[in-house]
Copies of this chain bind each other. A is one copy, B any other.
Amino acid sequence: MSAAEPSLDALIDALRRLPGVGVKSAQRMAFHLLQHDRDGAQKLATALSGAVQRVHHCRRCHTFSESEVCAVCADAGRDASKLCVIETPADQAALERTGSYRGLYFVLMGRLSPLDGIGVRDIGVAELLERAADPAVQEVILALGFSAEGEATAHALGLALRARGARVTRLARGVPVGSELEYVDLSTIAHAMSDRR
């Protein structure tokens, strides 16, 4: 806007640090909040401070948690023989919603991405190997995405885990539920054919 309004400029600059928000979007957001939703702006400020202060990582699975050990890890009813490795807390939420998995998790909080400078240390591979060495863990399920980076991460983790004697499985690749075969991409069909049961 103008150099005469430092608070407004500071707000626009701060909003630009959000992923996917450029200068036009940041202006539109600042304008919207100040013109139509000052209560929302105040709530967002409080929520940001609160989350930065209180949200840390679960000591066992690395997901976001307000307590030292997250609710899932602390749940004695979960099957401790299975450890599912996922990329993000959002993936964990999706798996939980399916109701098909009752084991524990390890959240990488990312995936290997050499181009973005994300290496083995950033996704906590050492912590995962240590966690998987727990004698209670019978099976490590790699539930990473089937993108190029997800595949590369799964490959590297699989090698390291198997070298330490762990039993490693991956999510099945196949035709999505509810889809017509003619619209599914060929590589998916080929995988579904070779993994038929």
A66 to B27 alpha-carbon distance, docked (Å): 17
CB proximity of A67 to chain B, nearest CB, Å: 8
A50 to B15 alpha-carbon distance, docked (Å): 13
Does A54 sit within 8 A of B, measured CB to CB? yes
Interface residue range, chain A = 35 or more
CB proximity of A51 to chain B, nearest CB, Å: 4
Cross-chain contact B44 with A14 (CB below 8 angstroms): yes
Cross-chain contact B15 with A64 (CB below 8 angstroms): no
Does A42 sit within 8 A of B, measured CB to CB? yes
Does A1 sit within 8 A of B, measured CB to CB? yes
Cross-chain contact A28 with B37 (CB below 8 angstroms): no
A154 to B20 alpha-carbon distance, docked (Å): 34
Cross-chain contact A41 with B52 (CB below 8 angstroms): yes
Q: Which of A7, A38, A51 has the most CB of B within 10 A?
A: A51
Cross-chain contact A31 with B90 (CB below 8 angstroms): yes
Tell me the residues in window 1-25 of chain A with beta carbons closer than 8 Å to chain B beta carbons. Answer: 1-2, 4-8, 10-11, 13-15, 17-20, 25
**Chain A residues near B (Cβ < 8 Å):** 1-2, 4-8, 10-11, 13-15, 17-20, 25, 27-35, 37-38, 40-55, 64-66, 70-72, 88-90, 92-93, 96, 109-110
